[in-house]
Amino acid sequence: EPNRGNIFDTRYRLLATSVPYYEIRMDLRSNALSASVFNENMDALARNLSVLFRDKSAYQYKSELLNARRNGERYHLVKRRVTYEELKALKSFPIFELGRYKGGFIYVQDNRRILPHQSLASRTIGYLTKGSSGNVVGIEGAYDHYLRGVVGVRMMQKLSGNVWMPVHDKNEVEPRDGYDVITTLDINIQDVAHHALLKQLQRHDARHGTAILMEVESGEIRALVNLEKDDDGAYRELYNYAIGESSEPGSTFKLPVLMAALEDGVVDLYDTIDTGEGSVQFYDKVIRDTREEGYGKITLKEVFEVSSNVGVSKCIDAHYRGREKEFIDRLYSMDLNQKLGLEIKGEGTPDIKYPGDSLWSGISLPMMSHGYEIRMTPMQILAFYNAVANDGKLIRPKLVREIRSNGQLLKRIPTVVINPSITSMSTIRKAQEMLKGVVENGTAKNLRNDLYSIAGKTGTAQVAKQNTGYGRFSEIQYQASFVGYFPADHPKYSCIVVVNAPSKWVYYGNLVAGPVFKEISDRVYASQLDLHEPVNLADQNNTTFPFSKNGSLGDLVSIIDYFKLGPDPQVTGSDWVITESTDSAIMVSPLPVQDKLVPNVVGMGIKDAVFLLENSGLKVRARGWGTVRSQSVIPGTVVRPGMGIVLEMSLS
Of 221-225, 510-514, 523-527, 586-590, least confident by mean pLDDT is: 586-590
DSSP class of 175: P
How many of the other CB atoms lie within 10 Å of CB of 301? 20
Identify the three-state secondary structure at position 126.
coil
- What local confidence, expressed as pLDDT, does residue 561 receive? 84
Residue 545 has pLDDT above 70, yes or no: no
- What local confidence, expressed as pLDDT, does residue 523 receive? 94
- What local confidence, expressed as pLDDT, does residue 543 receive? 52
Residue 133 banded pLDDT, cuts 50, 70, 90? low
Exposure of 235 in the CB half-sphere (CA atoms within 13 A):
24
Please choose, from the candidates 201, 227, 224, 222, the residue with its C-alpha nearest in 3D space to the C-alpha of residue 212.
224
pLDDT per position as a tens digit, 479-492: 999 999 999 999 99
Distance, in Å, from the CA atom of 62 to the CA atom of 518, rounded to the nearest integer, reads 63
How many of the other CB atoms lie within 10 Å of CB of 96? 23
- What local confidence, expressed as pLDDT, does residue 41 receive? 94
Identify the three-state secondary structure at position 6.
coil
Please choose, from the candidates 1, 84, 2, 54, the residue with its C-alpha nearest in 3D space to the C-alpha of residue 405.
2
Q: Looking at per-residue confidence, does 377 or 503 come out higher? A: 377
Q: What is the DSSP string of 631-651?
A: ESS-TTPBP-TT-EEEEEEEE
What does the mean pLDDT of the chain come to?
90
pLDDT per position as a tens digit, 141-174: 999 999 999 988 878 787 766 666 777 666 678 8
Distance, in Å, from the CA atom of 279 to the CA atom of 174, rounded to the nearest integer, reads 73
Which residues sit opposite 76 in a β-bridge?
Answer: 26
Residue 474 has pLDDT above 50, yes or no: no
Q: Which amino acid is located at 283 in the chain?
A: Y
Of 194-208, 360-374, 586-600, least confident by mean pLDDT is: 586-600
Please choose, from the candidates 2, 301, 383, 319, the residue with its C-alpha nearest in 3D space to the C-alpha of residue 174.
2
Residue range 65-90: average pLDDT? 92
Residue range 610-617: average pLDDT? 93
Distance, in Å, from the CA atom of 393 to the CA atom of 419, rounded to the nearest integer, reads 6
Angle at 527 between CA 412 and CA 221, to 5 degrees: 35
pLDDT per position as a tens digit, 275-312: 999 999 999 999 999 888 999 999 999 999 999 999 99
Residue range 379-383: average pLDDT? 98
Buried b (16+ CB within 10 A) or exposed e, 3-19: bbbbbbbbeeeebbbbe
- What local confidence, expressed as pLDDT, does residue 473 receive? 46
Of 173-177, 418-422, 566-570, least confident by mean pLDDT is: 566-570
How many of the other CB atoms lie within 10 Å of CB of 79? 18
Residue 140 banded pLDDT, cuts 50, 70, 90? very high
- What local confidence, expressed as pLDDT, does residue 560 receive? 84
Distance, in Å, from the CA atom of 86 to the CA atom of 58, rounded to the nearest integer, reads 17
Q: Which amino acid is located at 328 in the chain?
A: I
Q: How many helices (H) and strands (E) does the chain have?
A: 20, 31
- What local confidence, expressed as pLDDT, does residue 134 receive? 59
Q: Looking at per-residue confidence, does 473 or 529 come out higher? A: 529
Residue 128 banded pLDDT, cuts 50, 70, 90? confident
Residue 579 has pLDDT above 60, yes or no: yes
249 close to 385: Cβ distance less than 8 angstroms? no
Residue range 53-65: average pLDDT? 94
Residue range 551-561: average pLDDT? 88
Q: How far, rounded to the nearest angstrom, does the alpha carbon of residue 476 sit from its chain's CA centroid? A: 32
Residue 456 has pLDDT above 70, yes or no: yes
pLDDT per position as a tens digit, 489-506: 999 999 999 999 777 677
Query: Is the four-CA dihedral 365, 371, 375, 381 of positive or negative sign?
Result: positive
Of 397-406, 473-482, 538-547, 592-601, highest mean pLDDT = 397-406
Distance, in Å, from the CA atom of 641 to the CA atom of 644, rounded to the nearest integer, reads 9
- What local confidence, expressed as pLDDT, does residue 582 receive? 73
DSSP class of 609: H
H or E stretch covering 495: strand 493-500
Residue 467 has pLDDT above 60, yes or no: no
Residue range 517-532: average pLDDT? 91
517 close to 537: Cβ distance less than 8 angstroms? no
Residue 254 has pLDDT above 90, yes or no: yes
Residue range 390-418: average pLDDT? 96
Residue range 378-392: average pLDDT? 98
Q: How far, rounded to the nearest angstrom, does the alpha carbon of residue 316 sit from its chain's CA centroid? A: 39
- What local confidence, expressed as pLDDT, does residue 488 receive? 96
- What local confidence, expressed as pLDDT, does residue 494 receive? 98
Q: Looking at per-residue confidence, does 564 or 196 come out higher? A: 196
Residue 529 banded pLDDT, cuts 50, 70, 90? confident
Q: Among the residues of 254-407, which ranges form H helices?
A: 254-264, 300-305, 309-320, 324-333, 364-369, 378-389
pLDDT per position as a tens digit, 296-354: 999 999 999 999 999 999 999 999 999 999 999 999 999 999 999 999 999 999 999 99
